[in-house]
Amino acid sequence: MVEDSSNFRRPNETSSEASSSDNIGSQKPTQESKKSSKESPMCSSCASKGETQLSSDRDKWPIGKIENSCFRQICKLLDLADRSKEPLTGALGGFDQITVAYIEKKYEDKGGMGTAKKVLGKWGSRNKENNVGALKKILEDTMQRVDVVEEIEKWENLFVCHGCGIKLNKPQCSQ
């Protein structure tokens, strides 16, 4: 028996700020249905330390706050330098020839593995503008590494601490 109480549902949701869809992958934001600035998505350690909460926009996050296993995967892919249209150091910019030569030599024995971690670490800690969003742009436009961008997007959907960046368990979110 379907009980049909004839009260049609009115869309009474206030769609005040729901129009900020500047993301490329235009998937519906299933999580974060209501904006809750009070509810801190931080691990207990960061919460107790009163750690500064990072933006909900992951593009603004520093490279160093990308969750470890995701970052490892990103670096692993980037170390497959043959796939890149431009070499990482050149694409990111700001690396002088001596530094580039030094890094190349250092990871030569390992077939270049480890290069991306080093380079991204240096680049990301240089200034605030060198964040995830900037990296994504370079990966897309200059290096044409969609595979790496996809990895970053996976991380963007991962529930992580907005203080330190470690992976958190979210009971509602079924990964």
**Contact residues: Zn ion, CB under 5 A:** 43, 46, 161, 163-164
Q: Which is nearer to Zn ion, 118 or 167 (CB)?
A: 167
Calpha distance 23→3 (Å, rounded): 40
Q: Which is nearer to Zn ion, 83 or 167 (CB)?
A: 167
Calpha distance 38→58 (Å, rounded): 18
* Closest CB 165 distance from Zn ion, rounded Å: 7
Side-chain half-sphere exposure of 84, counting CA atoms within 13 A: 24
* Closest CB 160 distance from Zn ion, rounded Å: 8
Closest CA to 15 of 35, 43, 31: 35
Calpha distance 49→30 (Å, rounded): 30
Calpha distance 127→36 (Å, rounded): 29
* Closest CB 135 distance from Zn ion, rounded Å: 22
Q: Which is nearer to Zn ion, 63 or 92 (CB)?
A: 63
Q: Which is nearer to Zn ion, 113 or 173 (CB)?
A: 173
Q: Which is nearer to Zn ion, 80 or 164 (CB)?
A: 164
* Closest CB 140 distance from Zn ion, rounded Å: 29
* Closest CB 65 distance from Zn ion, rounded Å: 10
Residues making up the chain, counted from first to last: 175
* Residue 44 tokens, joined: 């207990």
Q: Please give the angle made by the CA atoms of 161, 30 and 32, to the nearest 5 degrees.
A: 45
